[in-house]
Structure 1
């Protein structure tokens, strides 16, 4: 990928519009409710850039204070402020879940009767932090309508091998026969039945006492191998391994029993809680096993005794998030090869597939050259679109999402997270009835909505332009009209401009089944200036190199203009008469096609100098897409241009722009 494209992708941004005009009350007279559900209709054209449902999450690691708390010994207020900031980052990046480590080293982030308080809270294992972190985390996540998946490390006791450093009451000290040292660390022995029961009990204490959305295990089962060092479990194998031909088969069965029993116990207690595991990215290599992937890396089946393929085929998990932490084209473990393999494994099983993404590699020193490309992570999600089995992604870890080195996560968000997304549905529960919007009022902070609904855990809010005579099911087929979700019966659309809009609200169950939309509620426009300039209007000008096409049904108006990229600007211009100097939202419309340009430069003639915003015209077409909010001067002039100066291949498209005063 060229240097120019890297620069362009870093610059990708879709800023939210600003405040709206003074209050205007909605017409909430009942439009006819839609009789069909708000699920995706096969008859509707959907945009893969704005999927209706997609898991978007990040891991928040507590071990060694990787993410949170940032260090031990913070005050309660400081710990809570830090955690809120992580959730706010998730919301800002349009995520809908967080995976938070609450049992990092056989300890607890809640007052557990089984294990001591975690040392990563206060610096002293067993010391009470002065509040209940898990209760706090769940409440704060749900207030933002983020799912909270509690992440447990099953077997690790300590990142050292000295049991005397554990608090005296630690179960691993009370039961020295339960543990072993290996590779400088302490582990519970997975082959001892009492250990397995104890670990399950410790996890189930959190499941039964807290309103968790998911239970999440990481990839640490048996310890990763140390060259030349054997796992010291021969005594347990002699005692419990009867009937197994090899110690390897016995070890795998020990892990399998934990996974199977956790599945049974979690869903026996709370059927709606998701059970997921993020295994190492390679199960087995095809050279070892014909069922394996075309890779040549460490094999989790053989090295850490994790038979993740079996867990899927037996339906012991609700989702897997394999850690595919390698770049596209990596010879030993190609991202695209592994994604295709995992998609095939889950196909037809009912187990959902998310991908564990290596945000920590992007732009980091010492990584392969591919990870210095700002587009690498974004390209992973583009590759995911080939496989309907991939329901989303989890990023490791929160601090790397925040760091956004080389603009990598910003590039990903601009290409894939321009709209919110509902979480993938997890079972076949009956969807709730349609809510009823009781008020919709436009004010200085946006459009404030309120509604009535019964039997719902959360709600989704949709907005369409104007006042349609009825709700087209295609309004709800993807997320292009989705403006937000909430667990409340109120919502303020702070992104609304001055135009007329119609809002719809749907209700969702705890496992994300969505009911039919409410009758629409329309808010009138405030009369502020807004103009649309189409390529067919006299206010549009373009040179002779720009062709005309009506090929795509996503076009605005009768046709659109196209041109090949060159090392010269040669822009097509949209001219407008701006009534007064001030803030304006600038939106663009274009048809999308896989053959169009991935980094089309739009030029906005703004106060303080021209601003260039690049847009991936391969996706996201057939709708208004915001370039952002700009300060425009009064007068009649060329306001928005589409430049041909880009080093990426594919036609650049000029179709229509909309300029709205804020």
Structure 2
């Protein structure tokens, strides 16, 4: 990329970033997108972005690295690919599970893949797809199962297929072309069979997406004709052969869309077509390019799939550099952005990581900033929802530091996946503890209806714009505990957690949980809405006072019986702890509300005048506490003074 073009892009991005005024209205779960649009966001830290890499199994491109590996070796290799994705702050992987009409799961329809053991039909000794899904989800990565629909073999000898192979048992289903075997897309029974194979994986495994690549009808070879005249004669229905072939592919796409979402609405369906649909010289709706047209060459009407809403995302393989005369990256990105605009289909760019720094590539790909510059171009188009990199081994190779350069400019923070559909967001979760530990801050939280959680950290008050981009996003996790190892020892923070459902709608943030600097190694806050709080039915709930902590507080009449409301906590080690309480204040509240501290030497009771000093932390004193999980603080009703007894929140801090 020229220095002048980079300068123009930098200025344009600065203008765009500064053109939006900060928000002043409070945020809510239902207005998250409007808040984001009203806040000045950092284009380098987008809140939502699909970041993925293709993990290819055909010909052992990525995984397994070779056939015949032991189960433990195969699994260790796959874990290393997932760990690479996490290291590079990706949030998804696209794994090829049906490369040559054979499968990476135990299927009754097709044989085990030859790329596992070296022998088609040879069982690998475990269920790879089940393993892959479990390992990806343990790292909060989506797993999109990648299917090649029509390719049967990278050779044209049917006798080399296992005898039970459907393409061998049904010779009329296949044809040979350019030295390879393909299922015939023009046969309805073939289309039904391919869909059934894919749906077998969808129905039996907890995959997050179905992904098709760019291989539909074979890429054309000069002097060879596709041998489908008999199928055309039987099923052409009066169309010309070219329209008929396109319609065959369209039917597969449309029917897969319907079947996938009927079975599992949360599963996303995406296709990664060749980057050029048609050239403008052929069709005024096409792009300002002059390369191979997938509409005409391989009968992939990818523009129609988008416009008809048959795919949830489209990932065009824009494998050319910025300024390339035949098919410039910036030209095609703009064309695809215009194509998806207003359709509801997400645009995820296929990136040629394999070209960066590779021998034999032209000079542009020897510039370590080329890939990174692609993402700078993407920032000009809000329709771009992320990127997928081909392939995993090239991400790992990081030739000429191309991927490291990209990550340093664009992936300094995690990102949530783009939301899909219109499902309601979960309720806001609650942080139950935030504790300084030797390697950072240990958090625990809880929520309902959540598939995963996002953890935010601020060093000051968090306004509504604190959650508009990923500047304050620390991590995402499927667990209800997380240790923030990036927390500086001497810095005070406030943590917030949001909950996300299966399709990534995000809740409102939890109440903030403060953590002090390194001088205090443990602090936990328990609110009356937390599971660690218990009280009998005699305790009412109120939101009357604006001095409350969290969303509400509890109240009860004084009686000649204890009936305490208890705050339970996990004390990490025996020692001295400061105990504080938070309550609203009101002239009608109790002047001597008994607070019980379960100290190591025996319970201690402290009377608190709840008529004053509300809306702030009030110290009950410093106490010697034993290690363990137990009811540490109680608010008792046993008092002769009049006025409601209030229980709202307590904070316990090691000193």
Tell me which interval the TM-score lies in, with the shorter structure as reference length. Answer: 0.7 to 0.9
Which of 444, 451, 464 is the aligned partner of 1:473? 464
| Moved beyond 4 Å, runs of 4+ | 33-40
Residue 347 of structure 1 deviates from its aligned partner by 0.3
Contact 2:36 2:469 in 1 (8 A): no
User: Deviation per CA, 1:296-331, whole angstroms, max 9, x where unpaired?
Assistant: 000000000000000011100000000000000000
Q: Within 1, Cα distance between the matches of 2:165 and 2:37?
A: 56
Q: 1:312 to 1:496 in 2, by over 3 A?
A: same
Within 5 Å, give how 1:138-157 maps onto structure 2.
138-157=133-152
Residue 399 of structure 2 aligns with which residue?
Answer: 405
Contact 1:441 1:523 in 2 (8 A): yes
SS in 2 for 1:41: helix
Residue 284 of structure 1 aligns with which residue?
Answer: 278
User: Deviation per CA, 1:126-169, whole angstroms, max 9, x where unpaired?
Assistant: 00000000000000000000000000000000000000000000
Residue 180 of structure 1 aligns with which residue?
Answer: 175
Q: Within 1, Cα distance between the matches of 2:125 and 2:419?
A: 37
Contact 1:34 1:517 in 2 (8 A): no
Residue 446 of structure 1 deviates from its aligned partner by 1.3
Which of 331, 344, 347 is the aligned partner of 2:325? 331
SS in 2 for 1:250: helix
Q: Within 1, Cα distance between the matches of 2:433 and 2:423?
A: 29
Which of 257, 264, 271 is the aligned partner of 1:263? 257
Contact 2:146 2:213 in 1 (8 A): yes
SS in 2 for 1:340: helix
Within 5 Å, give how 1:476-625 maps onto structure 2.
476-498=467-489, 499-527=491-519
1:170 maps to 2:162: no
Residue 625 of structure 2 aligns with which residue?
Answer: none
Contact 1:34 1:519 in 2 (8 A): no
Within 5 Å, give how 1:92-241 maps onto structure 2.
92-241=87-236
Residue 347 of structure 1 aligns with which residue?
Answer: 341
State the aligned residue count.
497
Within 5 Å, give how 1:350-361 maps onto structure 2.
350-361=344-355
Which structure has more relative contact order (CA 8 Å, sep 6+)? It is: 1
Within 5 Å, give how 1:76-87 maps onto structure 2.
76-87=71-82
SS in 2 for 1:438: strand
Within 5 Å, give how 1:236-315 maps onto structure 2.
236-244=231-239, 246-315=240-309
Within 5 Å, give how 1:14-29 maps onto structure 2.
none
Q: Within 2, Cα distance between the matches of 1:41 and 1:98?
A: 27
Residue 44 of structure 1 deviates from its aligned partner by 1.6
* RMSD value, Cα: 1.5
Residue 649 of structure 1 aligns with which residue?
Answer: none
Q: Within 1, Cα distance between the matches of 2:261 and 2:28?
A: 33
Q: Within 1, Cα distance between the matches of 2:72 and 2:249?
A: 39
Q: TM-score, normalised by structure 2?
A: 0.75
The answer for unaligned runs of 5 or more in structure 1 is 7-32, 529-662
SS in 2 for 1:266: helix
Q: Within 2, Cα distance between the matches of 1:299 and 1:250?
A: 17
Q: Within 2, Cα distance between the matches of 1:260 and 1:42?
A: 33
Contact 1:63 1:120 in 2 (8 A): yes
Q: Within 2, Cα distance between the matches of 1:164 and 1:114?
A: 19
Residue 563 of structure 2 aligns with which residue?
Answer: none
Residue 444 of structure 1 deviates from its aligned partner by 1.1
1:442 maps to 2:424: no
Q: Within 2, Cα distance between the matches of 1:271 and 1:154?
A: 21
Contact 1:55 1:354 in 2 (8 A): yes
Q: 1:52 to 1:476 in 2, by over 3 A?
A: same
SS in 2 for 1:406: helix
Residue 43 of structure 1 deviates from its aligned partner by 3.0
Residue 473 of structure 1 deviates from its aligned partner by 1.0
Q: TM-score, normalised by structure 1?
A: 0.74
Q: Within 1, Cα distance between the matches of 2:82 and 2:59?
A: 20
SS in 1 for 2:37: coil
Contact 1:503 1:521 in 2 (8 A): yes
Q: Within 1, Cα distance between the matches of 2:66 and 2:439?
A: 37
Residue 36 of structure 1 deviates from its aligned partner by 5.0
Residue 452 of structure 1 deviates from its aligned partner by 1.1
User: Deviation per CA, 1:317-370, whole angstroms, max 9, x where unpaired?
Assistant: 000000000000000000000000000000000000000000000000000100
Residue 204 of structure 1 deviates from its aligned partner by 0.2
Residue 389 of structure 2 aligns with which residue?
Answer: 395
Q: 1:514 to 1:180 in 2, by over 3 A?
A: same
SS in 1 for 2:90: coil
Residue 55 of structure 1 aligns with which residue?
Answer: 50
Q: Within 2, Cα distance between the matches of 1:438 and 1:36?
A: 21
Residue 45 of structure 1 deviates from its aligned partner by 1.0
Contact 2:371 2:402 in 1 (8 A): yes
SS in 1 for 2:38: coil
